[in-house]
Amino acid sequence: MAVKVEMPKLSDTMEEGVIAKWNVEEGDEVESGDIIAEVETDKATMEVEVFDDGTILKILVDEGDAVPLGQLMAVIGEEGEDISDILEEAASGGEKETSETDGEEDTSEKTDKKESTDTSAEKAEEKSTVTSDDGRLKASPLARKMAEEKGITLSNVEGSGPQGRIIKRDIESYEPSAVPAAATVSREDKEHRVSQMRKTIARRLSESKFNNPHFYETISIDMQPVWDARKQINEKSDTKISFNDIVVKACAAALRKHPEINSSWHGDKIVEHGDVNVAVAVAIEEGLVTPVINNTDQKGLQQIGQETRDLAEKARERKLQPEQMEGSTFTVSNLGMFGIEEFTAIINPPNACILAVGAIKEVPVVEDGEVVPGKRMKVTLSSDHRIVDGAMAAQFLSTLKQMLESPLAMLL
């Protein structure tokens, strides 16, 4: 008996999937457990597994197609089996076909109307230009002909005739501007398909920005102590520690001291999370993902560094699993590697806050009455005002600053 292969729900927020790749063709034999396709979801590229043996009798969607949950993707059965009923049933999304046809007709009709309108407009404009007494541009027929022959744009010519009309002598005396206008080249627009990930980013961050009352606080941190500590650690360790690893660790330690920052808004209640799970923003080609380092406050710098690199690598390969991007209680976004000094970030829901980390800059600072070189880094905390007040955010930033300016404080 033929078996339908429908679009499965591969993540908790998935509403449709895009066929990234078919691993089989019609006529191929498959066994239970075979991966027949890769599907791009709102979070990652996932594999579609079949649970029956048989032959791929029909593939109903192409690579690149967006398929809603539960919609038929393929049919498996015995070779030569009649699946016309299944195909007719699938096609009787028939109304869809009809409506699409109608839509095409409507579109065609609209296009025809548009073309007709455009043509009429062009004719009207042409007529207006020819009879131009009431138009913006007034020129005698001889002046027009001469301008055309000489390649002169009439709009560049100042008319000396009645009511500014351009006449023969205007064309004869016309001299182009000493500085010719820069040549421009018209290039075609490009359209890019919006990926499932980009749709999710757009939806979630729009909801966050428009629904969560953001406010922002920035603080400058002396990073010389971290600079020196990192150098010592990396000289003695095989696992190299990045500045971001240290910032993540410091945030986790500060969150333990300020649990109100480690919270979420749930309508009629605020949940203060017991675990400290810091998400790290990772930029990939399709957008931004935020893999989560669970129990960050309980892990050492080396473990945080290794875990961050592993998660970032999976993110770039689109191999992150949904559970590796869920459960965050705070987020760190770092653009310092791009030289960005400071910026504000949109809160990653359901977090209460996100920390935007800028670059470490060498700047002149005053110490003991003397101007000396220093290393400073600015961080900006975006907070949800429903959960966090200005004083709370300021106290958290103060603790974070103390920890980074005295790295040993993270061990307390």
Q: Which residues form the catalytic set?
A: 385
Query: CA–CA separation, 21 vs 37, rounded Å?
Result: 6
Closest CA to 2 of 75, 91, 101, 107: 75
Joined tokens for residue 375? 């290393």
Query: CA–CA separation, 273 vs 283, rounded Å?
Result: 26
Residue whose token pair is 């066994």: 31
Cβ atoms of residues 361 and 331 within 8 Å: no
Query: CA–CA separation, 391 vs 246, rounded Å?
Result: 24
Rg (CA), the chain: 32
Joined tokens for residue 24? 């089989």
Residue whose token pair is 């974070």: 400
H helix intervals, 237-265? 243-257
Residue 164 CB partners (closer than 8 Å, separation 6+): 138, 158
Query: CA–CA separation, 326 vs 351, rounded Å?
Result: 11
Joined tokens for residue 6? 């429908």
Residue whose token pair is 């691993």: 23
Cβ atoms of residues 325 and 43 within 8 Å: yes
Specify whether the backbone of 253 is left (phi greater than 0), alpha (psi in -120 to 50) or beta: alpha
Residue 174 CB partners (closer than 8 Å, separation 6+): 152, 156, 157
